[in-house]
Chains A and B, each alone.
Chain A
């Protein structure tokens, strides 16, 4: 059962979005987010929605999977919408019910907020989390934040920690499975009883897991030292990232997206919201 846990939301494939340089994709994601939040009128919003649909088609990931990924945030979306509906003040209330007053502005804000959140999730997911493996993401982030090393930010250390964490998650999951089986064989019951009892039953799983994780960490530290690891001192990388024509094309597309939104904001002011 534990083996089914997948890391992040990465969905392997070979679409143009999968092939784009991870550094470029991090920048593109930022551009996209900026785009969403600069959209000010109906046309700009429509443009955001269309562009998001374009990205979804481009990444070749089944819509079903993207929708499934949004399930957990439905509550957040609903909550935000409700807050917006009831707490936004306008001039003439649409209807009143005791202390609750709903203004048309509230409904409008709620609607926009829903579109924004859904576009944000779908867009960033499609550009970044669904199409970039966690390790490529870590790598891209390290290289992108490289200049911060001069400000003594532990960029390399952070990325090494991420890499090791990603490397050991499957190992530790396997180990948890093993320990749980061992405890079950000794009569432990993880599936029955009150919540408190079930949580208590997990203690004999967590303790050996922690002990072994510390031992692994110690072993790994020695092994890394044996392989001449000394932090970021004089380190090179096997794979170098170069911006390919595809990466520049993607950057261009996103620039057009931002430009489009700005133009729509300026030239269709009548419909501003």
Chain B
């Protein structure tokens, strides 16, 4: 339904502000224009309060922009003609996984929770059953189907939340700092699930994070600073501009930082390493000196 030339998600001059007290508004997004293609894996980086979560909430109509247009799959979601059904249709296509795994599970049994979204959509029971089983398998939680959420680890709960979204068969999933509250093992589990959804199932992923090493796994990195798109490019392009990132107080992956520091000291290293392996490669000439 969508060819590759028109972007799947398109934002034009989108602005949004919160009212913090009477008449005083705090601008969260200023004139943001962005295009995201179907099947992309996009990481959105930024500080707390940079506007990155606002961006996510605009895309599935939890918030409405002050000005500008947002087009998703050819549909202008900022138009006045959007009916309630249209809103729910957008939310079905653009799923969202939040930060706190405890605060997004509704039911007391894992499989019941995964079915929740489908039940809301009015899908026939047999079809829900099938989708729930498929979703459980996709996130590798089949054996926990009858467990209660509070018996699961953070990473497992987050995978259940993801399963609840994929059972609704979305095209896009927004992860709003979904890894921020997890321990390293849980983070790995969830990142593996996210990559697999993108690679194996072709789901467009918008991963909002402030973990640099997670951003490397994306095809594209968008840095939001102070409500504006500050940088936009492949991980290699973005992370090669170490100074530009540091000037807004963002970090780069540790290995990238290491290579950058070595270069600054005048060591003969080459390239911008994004992974430990690449860093080792880059530092090889040092051994030969």
Any chain A CB within 8 A of the CB of B236? no
Residues of B within 8 A of A227 (CB): 91, 95, 106, 116-117, 120, 164-165, 168
**Which residue on B lies nearest to A164, using beta carbons?**
B106
B67-75, B125-133, B210-218, B263-271 - interface stretch: B125-133
In the assembled complex, how far is the CB of residue B85 from the closest CB belonging to chain A, in whole angstroms?
Answer: 10
**Which residue on A lies nearest to B102, using beta carbons?**
A171
B150 near A171 with CB under 8 A, answer yes
**Which residue on B lies nearest to A220, using beta carbons?**
B103
B125 near A237 with CB under 8 A, answer yes
A226 near B95 with CB under 8 A, answer yes
Return the CB mask of A195-222 against B: 1 if under 8 Å, else 0.
0000000000000000000011001101
A81-89, A94-102, A146-154, A228-236 - interface stretch: A228-236
Any chain B CB within 8 A of the CB of A223? yes
In the assembled complex, how far is the CB of residue B97 from the closest CB belonging to chain A, in whole angstroms?
Answer: 9
Return the CB mask of B149-166 against A: 1 if under 8 Å, else 0.
110000000000000110
**Beta-carbon contacts under 8 Å, B188-218 to A:** none
The bracket for how many chain A residues form the interface is 20 to 34
What's the count of A-B pairs with C-beta under 8 Å? 96
Residues of B within 8 A of A235 (CB): 119-120, 122
Any chain B CB within 8 A of the CB of A184? no
Residues of A within 8 A of B132 (CB): 238
B103 near A223 with CB under 8 A, answer yes
Return the CB mask of A229-268 against B: 1 if under 8 Å, else 0.
1100011111110000000000000000000000000000
**Which residue on B lies nearest to A224, using beta carbons?**
B106
By the criterion of a CB under 8 Å from any partner CB, how many residues of chain B are at the interface? 40
Closest 4 CB pairs of A and B: A219-B103, A223-B104, A238-B115, A170-B150
Any chain B CB within 8 A of the CB of A167? yes
**Which residue on A lies nearest to B94, using beta carbons?**
A226
In the assembled complex, how far is the CB of residue A114 from the closest CB belonging to chain B, in whole angstroms?
Answer: 37
A–B Cβ pairs within 8 angstroms, 9 of them: A163-B107, A164-B106, A171-B150, A223-B103, A228-B121, A230-B120, A234-B122, A236-B119, A236-B128
Residues of B within 8 A of A220 (CB): 103-104, 106
Residues of B within 8 A of A163 (CB): 106-108
In the assembled complex, the Cα of A141 lies from the Cα of B281 at a distance in Å of: 65
Any chain B CB within 8 A of the CB of A225? yes
A230 near B125 with CB under 8 A, answer no
In the assembled complex, the Cα of A109 lies from the Cα of B141 at a distance in Å of: 58
In the assembled complex, how far is the CB of residue B124 from the closest CB belonging to chain A, in whole angstroms?
Answer: 6
B residues adjacent to A (C-beta < 8 A): 60, 62, 84, 88, 91-92, 95-96, 98, 100, 102-109, 111-112, 115-125, 128-129, 132, 148-150, 164-165, 168
B125 near A228 with CB under 8 A, answer no
Residues of A within 8 A of B100 (CB): 216, 219
Return the CB mask of A175-187 against B: 1 if under 8 Å, else 0.
0000000000000
Residues of B within 8 A of A164 (CB): 106
Any chain B CB within 8 A of the CB of A174? yes
Residues of A within 8 A of B104 (CB): 219-220, 223
In the assembled complex, the Cα of A99 lies from the Cα of B13 at a distance in Å of: 90
In the assembled complex, the Cα of A165 lies from the Cα of B26 at a distance in Å of: 35
Any chain B CB within 8 A of the CB of A135? yes
A228 near B117 with CB under 8 A, answer yes
Q: With A163-B106, A238-B132 in contact, is A225–B122 under 8 Å at CB?
A: no
**Beta-carbon contacts under 8 Å, A121-178 to B:** 134-135, 163-164, 166-167, 170-171, 174
**Which residue on B lies nearest to A225, using beta carbons?**
B62
Which of A216, A229, A234, A240 makes the CB contact (< 8 A) with B116? A229
A219 near B168 with CB under 8 A, answer no
In the assembled complex, how far is the CB of residue B159 from the closest CB belonging to chain A, in whole angstroms?
Answer: 15
In the assembled complex, how far is the CB of residue A193 from the closest CB belonging to chain B, in whole angstroms?
Answer: 32
Residues of B within 8 A of A225 (CB): 62, 91
Residues of A within 8 A of B119 (CB): 235-238
A167 near B105 with CB under 8 A, answer yes
In the assembled complex, how far is the CB of residue B224 from the closest CB belonging to chain A, in whole angstroms?
Answer: 20
Q: With A219-B100, A238-B115 in contact, is A228–B168 under 8 Å at CB?
A: yes
In the assembled complex, the Cα of A237 lies from the Cα of B128 at a distance in Å of: 8
In the assembled complex, how far is the CB of residue B104 from the closest CB belonging to chain A, in whole angstroms?
Answer: 4
In the assembled complex, how far is the CB of residue B56 from the closest CB belonging to chain A, in whole angstroms?
Answer: 10
Residues of A within 8 A of B98 (CB): 219, 222-223
Residues of A within 8 A of B88 (CB): 228, 230
Which of B92, B106, B125, B150 makes the CB contact (< 8 A) with A238? B125
Return the CB mask of A10-36 against B: 1 if under 8 Å, else 0.
000000000000000000000000000
**Which residue on B lies nearest to A234, using beta carbons?**
B122
In the assembled complex, the Cα of A222 lies from the Cα of B99 at a distance in Å of: 12
Residues of A within 8 A of B116 (CB): 224, 227, 229
Q: With A222-B62, A226-B91 in contact, is A238–B118 under 8 Å at CB?
A: yes
In the assembled complex, the Cα of A251 lies from the Cα of B205 at a distance in Å of: 52
